[in-house]
């Protein structure tokens, strides 16, 4: 079994990696991408996964571990393995705002699209990923709202434990949530 | 459906679908070789079909030697030719294994298989096919000269197996989407643009049919790829869509089949084997997401992949614009071509098509402005890569092959993406300017531009046709004849050149030669209303009025508003022994055409 944490960039995937590590699971991560102002606690990434489409066989190293696989790369997960995917979801306007802030700090340029058009592109991308996952019986998915994790970390940790079917340290998991790091928040309605 | 071009991911049809990414080997043989997700439908067959694949490393000397008898002489460190042969053999064996597995084990009523072997082997090795091309070293010619012939033998063997397994009751259609230049028309280089390898293609492909209700030894004239679907639907007793551009190839049937019609299959509710809407991707939006994720550092596409992805978006727009132009909808092509030209002003091909588009929209001044700009650019090579002495050289095995394969699978792109950066003007700007002058009736100016284009590249048969047509309009028959003969020297299968010679012969009162040339023209390209017209004129002049009538009728069936053909039909049918009712009918049709033209002028 390979446990995968996925979602759009800036949807809370690093937070979930942190929680699973605290919960007692082994992460497949090489620390090549160090913590920075965008993710003060680190990214928990494994560099070779970024080239998954060119080297799908590399996923074998994640057997029995947790690996972060960004949404677009989920489509390249090879058959022949069993996957449990914790997929982090966050309002797209927040994702786009957070990505814009990150790009600014990185000094790089992303898609040449205005925010609303980028939201539409990401929405269509998510639909494609979800439709593709529905066709992959070997991949089971737990959809988890980033907001819910922040609002009720204990419940979120319990949901993940139930989905993964392994005992986890729920208290340690929920202790990882620091609402102060929730910076790109949509204005409250009403 | 097996191996269909650009057929990934496999569509959820009511049957088995195997995408064209199924046979592609990734990584060295000692590593696992997982199937890409989406390569097989239904998913339950994945493991079983994965086992049928053949890795290139499993292709041994016994399989290579029939293609390259002198394989032992190849220095495989420097020359990747044998690896290419092994790769193409393995890929086509994968496809063949699935096709035969389906025929042997599955209930089937239709099997559609695409073998890319003849195309890919030809892109790789046609330059080595005898006779030896100028500039090709004798030694490499000797090594690879048997590859193409071996490829055809190999495909004949696979076809034999397919026919045996399908059985005598099966209807079989073998067709190709294009031919391949195997003679003196082989290009001496590949233009530096994504679709560059297409210059190696010959316009005429092949179609052969066999089956219980089909004629034998009958030639099919004028068939196109668009005719395949209507014909297959008719074979299954299913209606043909009125929105389909093709026709049923009725001449292949022993008895004319009943052809049912419906307005459109697009409007028929129910499952049609397409992907769910969420899986259909807009390439531009997907590219934006890819760029965003890469900029954020979450994915690491290679430079080639980035270029290939950007190229895929650009080429999709370009191809769509070309389709609109071919369909006579320049107004729909215009925004696409304007965007492409603004994005890459150095790309002569975008500017050329924009000029053509403006011309189609009667914006002649805009068209001329672009062409004048193109003609003022420094004289750039027409595209083919050149050898040390500056002479174009035959393409190396990997060159055309990689770029041809990249058209179907961007993952394979090596140099396709970067190739588009080269500005290429060549003879096209002068050629199009000549066409514009021609259409404006300025024949002297047209001729001047066309002759300049000829100086840039004297080996373009269509250019000589246009030169010949211009001379015809100038009543310079001798020069026209010379131009049409030049076109035929380059391409002996040019229907338009034979038609031009028919006109020259008619002007010289050489009606027998005119019949001969017009017959050659319409046998090469059946859908040629003018060809049938000139055949009719020459036959009528020789007194063969019945046969002439048939030729004119064919012309008006293809071009219903062809006034001169209708007039000839009036005249022929008013002769003693003619059919006065038919004459009256054609007179009425002439009147209808004139009325509608008048209406169009004064709406």
- Measured between alpha carbons, how far is residue B452 from residues B425, B436, B443, B449, B467 in Å? 13, 15, 14, 5, 11
| Contact (CB<8Å) B285/A121 | yes
Q: Which of B297, B302, B304, B339 to mutate to test the interface with A (most CBs of A within 10 A)?
A: B297
Reported as a single tens digit per residue, the pLDDT across B370-390 is 988 888 876 544 344 434 444
HSE-CB for A49 with a 13 A CA cutoff:
29
Measured between alpha carbons, how far is B425 from B437 in angstroms, rounded to an integer?
A: 19
Tokens of B165: 């397994």
- For the segment B563-570, the average pLDDT, to the nearest whole number, is 96
**pLDDT for position B144:** 96
| Contact (CB<8Å) B36/A80 | no
Domains assigned to chain B = 1-170 (no CATH), 519-603 (1.25.40.10)
Residue of A nearest to B47 (CA): A80
The answer to whether the CB of B285 falls within 8 A of the CB of A120 is yes
The C-alpha of A133 sits at a distance from chain B's nearest C-alpha, in angstroms, of 10
B272 φ/ψ angles, rounded to the nearest 5 degrees: -135, 15
Q: Which of B12, B17, B293 to mutate to test the interface with A (most CBs of A within 10 A)?
A: B293
Given a cut of 80, whether residue B349 has pLDDT beyond it is yes
Confidence of residue B603 (pLDDT cuts 50, 70, 90): low
Q: At what angle do helices B117-125 and B147-166 cross, to 10 degrees?
A: 180
**Cβ neighbourhood burial of B189 (10 Å; 0-12, 13-18, 19+):** buried
B interface toward A at CB cutoff 8 Å?
26-27, 31-32, 34-38, 43, 46, 275-276, 278-279, 281-282, 285-286, 288-293, 295-300, 302, 411
Reported as a single tens digit per residue, the pLDDT across B149-172 is 999 999 999 999 999 999 999 999
Given a cut of 70, whether residue B589 has pLDDT beyond it is yes
pLDDT, chain A, mean: 88
> Please, what sign has the CA dihedral across residues B484, B490, B496, B498?
positive
pLDDT, chain B, mean: 87
| Contact (CB<8Å) B34/A110 | no
CA angle B597, B599, B603 (to 5 degrees): 135
Range of lowest pLDDT (B102-106, B311-315, B562-566): B311-315
Given a cut of 70, whether residue B287 has pLDDT beyond it is yes
**pLDDT for position A164:** 96
B549 φ/ψ angles, rounded to the nearest 5 degrees: -60, -45
The C-alpha of A190 sits at a distance from chain B's nearest C-alpha, in angstroms, of 32
The answer to whether the CB of A68 falls within 8 A of the CB of A6 is yes
- For the segment A106-122, the average pLDDT, to the nearest whole number, is 83
**Helix runs in B275-347, H state only:** 283-296, 303-326, 330-343
Measured between alpha carbons, how far is B27 from B36 in angstroms, rounded to an integer?
A: 13
> Which one has a higher pLDDT value, B189 or A91?
A91
Tokens of A23: 């919960």
Q: Which of A189, A172, A19, A180 is nearest to A88 (CA)?
A: A19
The answer to whether the CB of B84 falls within 8 A of the CB of B414 is no
Domains assigned to chain A = 2-180 (3.40.50.300)
- Beta strand A66-68 pairing with B172-175: unpaired
Measured between alpha carbons, how far is A154 from A173 in angstroms, rounded to an integer?
A: 8
Given a cut of 90, whether residue A56 has pLDDT beyond it is no
Task: State whether residue A104 sits within 8 Å of chain B by CB.
Answer: no
**pLDDT for position B305:** 65
**Cβ neighbourhood burial of A52 (10 Å; 0-12, 13-18, 19+):** buried
Instruction: Count other C-beta atoms under 10 Å from residue B22's C-beta.
Output: 25
The C-alpha of A107 sits at a distance from chain B's nearest C-alpha, in angstroms, of 9
> Please, what sign has the CA dihedral across residues B331, B332, B333, B338?
positive
> Please, what sign has the CA dihedral across residues A134, A136, A141, A146?
negative
- For the segment B357-369, the average pLDDT, to the nearest whole number, is 91
Given a cut of 80, whether residue A189 has pLDDT beyond it is no
From chain A, pick out residues whose CB is under 8 angstroms from the CB of B289.
Answer: 72, 111, 121-122, 125
From chain A, pick out residues whose CB is under 8 angstroms from the CB of B27.
Answer: 55, 57
- Measured between alpha carbons, how far is residue A70 from residues A26, A46, A50, A134, B408 in Å? 18, 11, 8, 17, 26
**pLDDT for position A181:** 60
The answer to whether the CB of B518 falls within 8 A of the CB of B496 is no
Facing residue for A103 by CB, picked from B35, B43, B295: B295
Task: State whether residue A37 sits within 8 Å of chain B by CB.
Answer: no
| Contact (CB<8Å) A99/B278 | no
Q: Which residues contact B287 (CB under 8 A, 6 or more apart)?
A: B309, B310, B312, B313
H or E segment to which residue B213 belongs: none
The answer to whether the CB of B363 falls within 8 A of the CB of B107 is no
**pLDDT for position B379:** 54
**pLDDT for position B204:** 83
H or E segment to which residue B55 belongs: none
Given a cut of 50, whether residue B412 has pLDDT beyond it is no
Reported as a single tens digit per residue, the pLDDT across B217-269 is 988 877 889 999 999 999 999 999 999 988 899 989 999 999 999 999 998 99
Rg (CA), chain B: 27
Given a cut of 60, whether residue A187 has pLDDT beyond it is no
- For the segment A16-20, the average pLDDT, to the nearest whole number, is 95
Reported as a single tens digit per residue, the pLDDT across B227-239 is 999 999 999 999 9
**pLDDT for position B397:** 58
Cα torsion B87, B88, B91, B94 to 10°: value is -110
First to last CA, chain A: 45
Q: What is the DSSP string of chain A?
A: -EEEEEESTTSSHHHHHHHHHHHTPPB-----S---SSSTT-----GGGGGTTT-GGGGGGGTTSEEE--HHHHTTPPSSS-EEEEEEE--HHHHHHHHHHHHHHHT----SS-HHHHHHHHHHHHHHHHHHHHT-TTEEEEEEEHHHHHH-HHHHHHHHHHHHTS---HHHHHHT--GGG--SPPPPP-
Confidence of residue B392 (pLDDT cuts 50, 70, 90): very low
| Contact (CB<8Å) A50/B302 | no
**pLDDT for position B212:** 93
**Which residue is listed with tokens 């993406």?**
B417
Q: Which of A49, A121, A139 to mutate to test the interface with B (most CBs of B within 10 A)?
A: A121
Measured between alpha carbons, how far is B23 from B98 in angstroms, rounded to an integer?
A: 10
Q: Which of B344, B279, B274 is nearest to B315 (CA)?
A: B344
| Contact (CB<8Å) B288/A113 | yes
Confidence of residue B460 (pLDDT cuts 50, 70, 90): confident
Q: Which of A35, A54, A58 to mutate to test the interface with B (most CBs of B within 10 A)?
A: A54
Range of lowest pLDDT (A58-72, A137-151, A172-186): A172-186
ipTM: 0.83
- Measured between alpha carbons, how far is residue A110 from residues A7, A39, A44, B297, B309 in Å? 18, 18, 22, 10, 15
From chain B, pick out residues whose CB is under 8 angstroms from the CB of A108.
Answer: 295-297
Measured between alpha carbons, how far is B154 from B174 in angstroms, rounded to an integer?
A: 15
Diameter of chain B by CA atoms? Answer: 85
A59 φ/ψ angles, rounded to the nearest 5 degrees: -65, -20
Buried b (16+ CB within 10 A) or exposed e, A69-89: bbbbbbbbbbbbbebbbbbbb
First to last CA, chain B: 50
> Which one has a higher pLDDT value, B262 or A45?
B262
**pLDDT for position A42:** 76
| Contact (CB<8Å) B38/A132 | yes
**pLDDT for position B399:** 56
Given a cut of 90, whether residue B28 has pLDDT beyond it is no
**pLDDT for position A75:** 86
From chain B, pick out residues whose CB is under 8 angstroms from the CB of A137.
Answer: 43
**pLDDT for position A66:** 96
Q: Which of A7, A50, A52 to mutate to test the interface with B (most CBs of B within 10 A)?
A: A50
Tokens of B559: 């071009």
Facing residue for A128 by CB, picked from B278, B293, B297: B278
CA angle B460, B462, B465 (to 5 degrees): 120
The answer to whether the CB of B81 falls within 8 A of the CB of B144 is yes
The answer to whether the CB of B395 falls within 8 A of the CB of B297 is no
């Amino acid at each position: 079994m390979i446990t995968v944490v996925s979602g759009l960039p800036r949807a809370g995937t690093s937070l979930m990696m942190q929680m699973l590590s605290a919960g007692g699971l082994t992460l497949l991560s090489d620390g090549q991408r160090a913590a920075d102002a965008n993710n003060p606690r680190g990214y928990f990434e494994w560099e070779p996964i970024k080239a998954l489409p060119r080297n799908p066989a590399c996923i074998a190293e994640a057997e029995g571990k947790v690996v972060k696989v960004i949404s677009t790369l989920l489509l390249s997960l090879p058959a022949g393995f069993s996957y449990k995917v914790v997929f982090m979801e966050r309002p797209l306007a927040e994702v786009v705002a957070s990505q814009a802030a990150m790009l600014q700090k990185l000094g790089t340029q992303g898609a040449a699209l205005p925010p609303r058009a980028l939201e539409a592109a990401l929405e269509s991308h998510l639909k494609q990923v979800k439709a593709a996952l529905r066709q992959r019986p070997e991949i089971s998915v737990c959809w988890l709202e980033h907001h819910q994790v922040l609002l009720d970390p204990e419940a979120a940790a319990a949901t993940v434990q139930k989905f993964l079917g392994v005992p986890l340290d729920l208290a340690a998991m929920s202790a990882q949530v620091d609402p102060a790091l929730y910076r790109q928040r949509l204005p409250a309605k009403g | 459906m097996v191996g269909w071009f650009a057929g990934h991911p496999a569509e959820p049809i009511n049957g088995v679908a195997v995408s064209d990414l199924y046979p592609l080997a990734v990584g060295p043989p000692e590593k696992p070789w997982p199937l890409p997700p989406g390569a097989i439908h239904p998913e339950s067959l994945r493991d079983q079909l994965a086992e049928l694949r053949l890795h290139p490393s499993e292709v041994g000397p016994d399989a290579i030697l029939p293609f390259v008898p002198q394989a032992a002489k190849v220095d495989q460190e420097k020359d990747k030719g044998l690896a290419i042969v092994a790769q193409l053999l393995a890929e086509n064996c994968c496809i063949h294994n699935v096709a035969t597995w389906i025929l042997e084990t599955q209930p089937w009523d239709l099997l559609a298989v695409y073998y890319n072997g003849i195309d890919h082997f030809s892109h790789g090795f046609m330059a080595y096919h005898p006779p030896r091309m100028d500039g090709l070293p004798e030694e490499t010619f000797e090594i690879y000269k048997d590859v193409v012939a071996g490829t055809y033998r190999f495909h004949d063997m696979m076809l034999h197996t397919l026919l045996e397994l399908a059985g005598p009751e099966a209807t079989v259609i073998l067709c190709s989407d294009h031919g391949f230049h195997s003679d003196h028309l082989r290009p001496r280089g590949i233009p530096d643009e994504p679709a560059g390898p297409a210059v190696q293609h010959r316009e005429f492909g092949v179609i052969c049919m066999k089956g219980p209700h089909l004629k034998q030894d009958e030639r099919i004239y004028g068939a196109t790829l668009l005719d395949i679907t209507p014909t297959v639907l008719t074979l299954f007793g299913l209606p043909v869509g009125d929105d389909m551009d093709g026709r049923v190839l009725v001449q292949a049937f022993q008895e004319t089949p009943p052809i049912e019609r419906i307005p459109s299959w697009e409007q028929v509710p129910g499952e049609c084997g397409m992907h769910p809407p969420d899986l259909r991707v807009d390439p531009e939006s997907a590219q934006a997401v890819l760029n965003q994720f890469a900029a954020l550092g979450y994915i690491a596409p290679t430079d080639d992949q980035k270029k290939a992805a950007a190229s895929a978006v650009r080429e999709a727009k370009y191809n769509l614009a070309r389709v609109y132009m071919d369909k006579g909808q320049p107004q729909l092509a215009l925004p696409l071509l304007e965007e492409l030209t603004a994005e890459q002003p150095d790309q002569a091909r975008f500017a050329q098509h924009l000029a053509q588009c403006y011309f189609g929209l009667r914006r002649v001044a805009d068209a001329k402005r672009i062409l004048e700009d193109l003609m003022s650019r420094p004289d750039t090579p027409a595209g083919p890569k050149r050898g040390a002495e500056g002479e174009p050289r035959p393409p190396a095995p990997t060159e055309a092959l990689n770029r041809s394969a990249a058209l179907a699978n961007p993952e394979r792109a090596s140099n396709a993406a970067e190739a588009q950066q080269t500005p290429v003007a060549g003879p096209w700007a002068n050629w199009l300017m000549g066409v514009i002058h021609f259409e404006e009736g300025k024949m002297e100016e047209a001729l001047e531009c066309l002759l300049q284009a000829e100086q840039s590249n004297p080996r373009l048969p269509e250019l000589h046709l246009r030169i010949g047509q211009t001379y015809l309009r100038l009543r310079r028959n001798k020069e026209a004849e010379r131009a049409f003969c030049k076109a035929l020297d380059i391409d002996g299968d040019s229907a338009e050149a034979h038609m031009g010679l028919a006109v020259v012969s008619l002007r010289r009162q050489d009606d027998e030669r005119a019949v001969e040339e017009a017959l050659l023209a319409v046998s090469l390209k059946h859908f040629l209303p003018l060809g049938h017209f000139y055949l009719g004129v020459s036959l009528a002049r020789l007194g063969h009025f019945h046969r002439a009538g048939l030729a004119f009728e064919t012309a008006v069936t293809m071009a219903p508003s062809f006034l001169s053909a209708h007039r000839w039909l009036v005249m022929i049918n008013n002769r003693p022994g003619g059919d006065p009712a038919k004459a009256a009918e054609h007179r009425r049709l002439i009147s209808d055409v004139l009325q509608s033209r008048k209406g169009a002028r004064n709406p």
